[in-house]
Structure 1
Amino acid sequence: MRADTGWLETWREDLREAVASAVLDFEDRYGYPPGGNAVSRPDMTAAARLAAVHPAIPADLVDLYAKVGAVDLPDIGNGFFLHTASDVADAHESRDLWHIRGRHDADVVVFASDGGGTQYGLATPEGSPVYRLPPDLVLGGIYTSENPRFDVAAPDLSTFLDRILQAVKTFAASSTPPSL
């Protein structure tokens, strides 16, 4: 992640504006009102708990959750969700899904998902890629897949976050479902 974490606050506010634009005429386009699309401020208690799990949690994620809370976007494409810091810490501590293998092999921290069951995991150590994990076999916390969609979603967390913002802006402008 970038040395100065101030850009995360800018990203959070830019994402809020893009989401507001995306749901502005949502009901007119789709015939029903938008759900609870929200980009929340950080939960400092949960962020501190996540930081306490560091170094098992990459510093990139610790920095993110110090500036941004949950992101719930049920109406953007098939939905996108940045999990809460508490959920990330709980899942990592319980080792729900901590390692991937098959097309790729790495330790990961799952921090996001979409409405179709795909999860996103940041590999460790810091500066590693974000992997797209479509639904597949998870045994003992180890995800195994040869699915071609199981791939690098972004070379690092900051690029992944930038892609989320661009996907929401594209959806707001064209109603084209975003793909991460």
Structure 2
Amino acid sequence: MADERLDAEWLRAWCEQADAGLAKLMKSFEARYGFEPGSNVVVLASEASRHATDSLVDLTPIPSDLTTMYWVIDEVSLPDVENGYFVHPASLVADHFREYGAVRIDGEEPALVFASDGGGHLFALAGSGRIWRSTTASWFDQFDLAAGSLQEFFEGLSRQITDQLGQLVEGWAGA
């Protein structure tokens, strides 16, 4: 799947599906967990975020799938899905690139960090289209393969939302 490029229409549909799943999840979140959820959102791209994407492209050669993603999505913040997932806005990716550079992964082209999880692990997209996850909360330690493509990464986020929704339903049924 790494040879296939991310389709903007597929990603727009993913955004709609994620929004619907998050609305259901957040509706019963406080009753289930005993505290209010954070801001769990998929923020669509705006003129300002597209300008930040253009600036990122000018700064460093980025994989085309990341450009496609940033033309559809500005950022994703899912602090209450599993242990949290965050797709960083292009402006933050540019700031991190200036500070840390690209991530070096054996056998891969340099990869660009674009996301993280609630434990501080980083997700980087390589020129091959594959997604790598840091084994620690560090830019300089080992990275392991996390997904074969950006689409597979987003499909994984969808599964996390769906699985957590299923746990809520099971929890209510068992109560």
Identity among equivalent positions (%) equals: 31
Question: How far does the alpha carbon of each residue in 1:75-97 deviate from its partner, in whole angstroms, 9 at most, with x for none?
Answer: 111111111121112222x0514
Change (3 A) 1:81 1:137: closer
Change (3 A) 1:74 1:135: same
Letter in 1 for 2:149: D
Say whether the 8 Å CA contact 2:49–2:74 is kept in structure 1.
no
Letter in 2 for 1:158: Q
The worse-fitting range, judged by mean Cα deviation, of 52-61 and 8-17 is 52-61
Counterpart CA distance in 1 for 2:100 and 2:47 is 24
Change (3 A) 1:53 1:173: same
Counterpart CA distance in 2 for 1:22 and 1:123 is 32
- SS of the aligned residue for 2:141 comes to strand
Letter in 1 for 2:100: D
Q: CA deviation at 1:159?
A: 1.0
Say whether the 8 Å CA contact 2:56–2:90 is kept in structure 1.
no
Which one of 24, 29, 35 corresponds to residue 27 of structure 2? 24
Letter in 2 for 1:110: V
Structure 1 equivalent of residue 63 of structure 2: 58
Counterpart CA distance in 2 for 1:48 and 1:83 is 15
Which one of 89, 100, 104 corresponds to residue 104 of structure 2? 100
Counterpart CA distance in 2 for 1:113 and 1:88 is 11
Structure 2 equivalent of residue 161 of structure 1: 154
1:131 aligns with 2:124: no
Structure 1 portions without partners, runs of 5+: 176-180
TM-score where L is the length of structure 1: 0.81
**CA RMSD, Structure 1 to Structure 2 (Å):** 2.1
Counterpart CA distance in 1 for 2:119 and 2:73 is 23
